[in-house]
Chains A and B, each alone.
Chain A
Amino acid sequence: MRVLDIIHDANANLWRSKLRSFLTILAIFVGSFTIILNSAINAGVNDFMDKQIDNMGGDGYLEMMPTEMYESAMNMMGNNGPQEYTEDKDNSNASSYIKDDQIEKAKKIDGIKVFNVLPNSTADYVTSKKTDKRYRININLVVEGISFDMSNGATPNTDKNADYEIAVNEDLAKALGYENVADIVGETIQIAVPNNLKCYTATKRSECQTIVDVKVSGTQAPGILSMGGSRTNLALWNKINEINYKGMPAEMNRSYMATADVEPEKIKDIQKSLEEIGLKAMSVEDEVGMFKTFFDAILIVFNIFGGIALAAASIGIINTLFMAVQERTREIGLDKALGMSNGKVFLSFSAEAIMLGFWGSLFGIIVSYVVGQVANTVATQTFLSDFPTFKLAIFEPLTMISIALVIMFIAFLAGTLPARRASKKNPIDALRYE
């Protein structure tokens, strides 16, 4: 008997008891729908996370601060309990900074491609010619070797001698008077930078501020992790630092932060090595981790529901096929009398089980796809309107096919019991059966 005939007959046999087959397929559908939609949402969230990670510098990006600073920050948050004071340890938050020997050692660690020490740079506000309003600004440095996911324009030029450039968040671009955010690319905006020394004595803040003209190189889509920060290039960052510390002793212009571009595969080892020289390094994953763990937990719960539904559906398959074997006893007997082997009888009932799984998962894919698309549309219009790049559910064909295959395999396993009974039937007894 040919494989195509077996598949064709299996389908035809399912059609013979429509309601029963439909109900069994429905049970499988419930399980497959849950699991498929889950995996689509999982893919959507992961994709979103990946984009966020890219926005923060990618897989190979590390941010460092002195360990004692990290620990005292943790102590302030009360995470570590009371800490004993010791003379040999630098217990002051203010005096902990990244020391020269730490920089030397860090640069020698295997896998670190670029190591940047970030001088401190702070700016007060940003404004543009298109608006009277001034907005507080939180700046970050675009580190060499890392590219960002830009919605318009380009990543700021990281060359030390480049023009002053900044990438702004789309929301900020709108606030600065560019309703069409793409228009801000190439425009010049104004950033107010304070001088720390003058500001001690100034009566008005504006007396100690310097206005710097900065070119906007591009915009970034809003994301939960970029938190509205704007990204300056190294030239601007250094300029801001220079203004911040002008007239102050060099010892005060210390760095608390460093970043590194490392080989992503070695990131855990590198973090450990940095820890040994007194630098607490956080990868983007560490920072996103919490959020992701929460999402994963929800998805696991839903997948368990899907799994339970599938287990129940498997029992349905077993039941349906046992009934079919009973009903078709005479037919099985005839098939065997006419020379069908036990193996082929087994196969034909297994094919029926697999077809049940096939239809169940096919409907699962179709319906969850439709639901996913509707949810995507609704989400982007409502609660996810701030995150245009976030697609709630992403349907990857390969994932869908593998889920369908797994469900068909489960159906096959469920079908082995009745199929075995069918194959063991004695043709004479089966033909006598009325």
Chain B
Amino acid sequence: MKNVLLSTRDLKKIYGKRDSKFEALKGIDLDIQTGESVAIIGKSGSGKSTLMHLLALLDQPTEGTIKLNGKVTSKLKQRRLNRLRNKEFGFVFQSFFMNSNDTVLNNVILPLKIAGVRRKERRRRAMEALKIVELEDKAKNKANDLSGGQKQRVCIARAIVNNPKVIFADEPTGNLDSATGAKIEELLFGLNRDKGITLIVVTHDEELAEKCSRQIRIADGQVVEDDKGIAKHDPSFIEDANADGMRDENHTKEIEVEEQ
């Protein structure tokens, strides 16, 4: 039986006030299971990045709830959120976000340093992560001296160094040519397949999205297509769902079937 890792109900995000008000998300309901690889697809401005930021607990929704492992995250203190992101999440960004003057090793170490892991231990773990992305021989190089594909592999090493449960990848191949992009994809899906790390990819690249086990299409702040839909594993949601009449009977059945 699969567990629901992340779920959202009626998630809304509104930027600005009154006249300049802009509704980026107009009520998103999602359940993401542990071990899934999910593609969130949408054009720029569709709200897919906003959704990812909310799922990654980088931002607070204006309305609605997010549950991580069944716990409502809005009730968590900032410190707990920071620790969750540090321990459970890994991030891969389109434009890498690396400290380009620092060494590859130090870039990979960053999450462990923030966590306060001892010097020796974090070195060991960073080298392990670099081995997975096959860059252990570049550990001492400056991040700036690497190619784009290598940089993204360093970012993946950084994302997995803390043994996360989820990796959020925002256009991970967006800045790469198709050959290097394929290698990055291989790495990410390998991690999903072999280590059971839940993968949440935000992209507008259909090919990349196809390779995920599930595609969620976003347009104008709403889910327009979701091949898996909402699962009713969490009874606490049923009440809410009945109340706002959003529940689709078919979805529930589908998932029940799948689970058997």
Contact = CB atoms under 8 A, between A and B. Distances in A.
Interface of A: 1-2, 5, 16, 330-331, 333-342, 344, 427-428, 431
Given A1-B113, A1-B114, A428-B58, A339 B86 contact: yes
Contact of A335 (B79, B83, B93, B114): B114
B111 A338 contact: yes
Given A16-B101, A331-B99, A431-B97, A5 B113 contact: yes
B77 to A, nearest CB: 11
Contact of A334 (B84, B86, B97): B97
B58 A338 contact: no
B97 A342 contact: no
B91 A337 contact: yes
Nearest to B117: A2
B179 to A, nearest CB: 26
B contact patch SS: helix
A27 to B, nearest CB: 25
A341 B116 contact: no
Contact of B91 (A2, A330, A338, A340): A338
The 6 lowest CB-CB distance pairs between A and B, nearest first, are A339-B86, A339-B82, A339-B85, A338-B111, A334-B97, A340-B114
B250 interface: no
Interface of B: 53, 56, 58-59, 78-79, 82-87, 91, 93, 97, 99, 101, 110-111, 113-116
Given A16-B101, A339-B87, 4 more contacts: A1-B113, A330-B97, A338-B111, A341-B78
Contacts of A334: 97, 110
A331 B99 CA distance: 7
Which residue, B58, B79, B83, has most C-beta atoms of chain A within 10 A? B58
A339 B110 CA distance: 10
B79 A341 contact: yes
8 contacts: A337-B56, A337-B91, A338-B111, A339-B83, A339-B84, A339-B87, A341-B79, A428-B53
Nearest to B113: A5
Contacts of A339: 82-87, 111, 114-115
Nearest to B118: A2
B59 A428 contact: yes
Nearest to A3: B116
A342 B78 CA distance: 9
Contacts of B97: 330, 333-334, 431
A431 B93 contact: yes
Contacts of A427: 58
B110 A335 contact: yes
A428 B93 CA distance: 12
B221 to A, nearest CB: 16
Nearest to B122: A5
B110 A338 contact: yes
A41 B78 CA distance: 52
Contacts of A330: 97
Given A339-B82, A342-B78, A2 B116 contact: yes
Nearest to A434: B95
A1 to B, nearest CB: 5
A337 B79 contact: no
A292 B92 CA distance: 69
A341 B110 contact: no
A25 B87 CA distance: 38
A30 B111 CA distance: 39
A1 B110 contact: no
Contacts of A340: 82, 86, 114
Contacts of B79: 341
A308 B85 CA distance: 46
A338 B59 contact: no
Nearest to A330: B97
A428 B58 CA distance: 7
Contacts of A333: 97
A341 B82 CA distance: 6
A431 B59 CA distance: 12
A12 B93 CA distance: 25
Contact of A1 (B83, B101, B116): B116
A400 B75 CA distance: 50
A341 B99 CA distance: 19
B85 A337 contact: yes
A5 B56 CA distance: 26
B114 A337 contact: no
Given A1-B113, A331-B99, A338 B86 contact: yes
B159 to A, nearest CB: 9
B116 A337 contact: no
Given A2-B116, A431-B93, A337 B58 contact: yes
